[in-house]
Amino acid sequence: MRLMFVVIIALLVNVKAIAQQQRVIAECTIVYAISVDSTSTDTSLTNNLKAATKTIFIKGNNSRIDLTSAAFTQSIFYDKVKGSAIFLRELGTNKFITKLDSTQWLQEKHEFDGMVTTITKDTKKILGYDCKKALLQLKNGKVYTVYFTPTLLPSVKEVDYEFKDIPGIVLAYQVAATDGKKINYTATRFNLSPVPASKFDVPSSGYRILNK
């Protein structure tokens, strides 16, 4: 009887551990610092991304990405249920809005068709989370080096479409283009507090429609 009790306890502990490993995060905010690899000779790229940040908001089936730099700002709203997206861009005093249905959204992301994802044995700790390393190889030669925490899964995996097959939340990554340019994104804040619904309100005026 005692042996059966021990077995049951062990099973419950194992089930709990598995559940914790697969925890789905439906509300969070992630802020990334953006930097250009020090070996890059593209001064225009370095200047455009000076003090740049990327912020991801996830709430249920909705996500939003804000890219902010000295040169421009861009917000991408994605609706997981509809598979549609809305882009807001600001360049100086010019403001543009682009709406994409599910078909147009996939066309926008065709660069990632046939992408090969390889999860390695390398690890790194970021913001207190043990992260695994993955390599993403695109057909055009571009390579992503990604670090993600496998214990947390985003409710909207397409928040960053290129990471939709990554089994966890990405906390750092580097994009290496074929021309040698390397851009780094590193999470500086990861907040699991509820995200205000107002973050997903799209302006109804003040933006010029820009069709794809």
pLDDT at 44: 57
| Domain 24-199, CATH among 2.40.340.10, 3.30.1660.40, 3.30.70.890, 2.50.20.10 | 2.50.20.10
Whole-prediction pTM: 0.84
Residues 69 and 173: their CA atoms lie apart, in Å, by: 18
First to last CA, the chain: 68
> Where on the phi/psi map is residue 193: left (φ > 0), alpha (ψ -120 to 50), or beta?
beta
User: Is 90 exceeded by the pLDDT of residue 199?
Assistant: yes
Three state DSSP letters for the chain: CHHHHHHHHHHHHHHHHHHHHCEEECEEEEEEEEEECCCCCCHHHHHHCCCCEEEEEEECCEEEEEEECCCCEEEEEEECCCCEEEEEEEECCEEEEEEECHHHHHHHCHHHCCCEEEEEEEEEEECCEEEEEEEEECCCCCEEEEEEECCEEECCHHHCHHHCCCCCEEEEEEEECCCCCEEEEEEEEEECCCCCHHHHCCCCCCCEECCC
pLDDT at 41: 59
Residues 212 and 206: their CA atoms lie apart, in Å, by: 19
Q: What is the mean pLDDT of residues 64-72?
A: 93
pLDDT at 17: 45
Residues 100 and 85: their CA atoms lie apart, in Å, by: 5
pLDDT at 204: 84
Q: What is the mean pLDDT of residues 41-56?
A: 73
pLDDT in tens, 114-144: 999 999 999 999 999 999 999 999 999 999 9
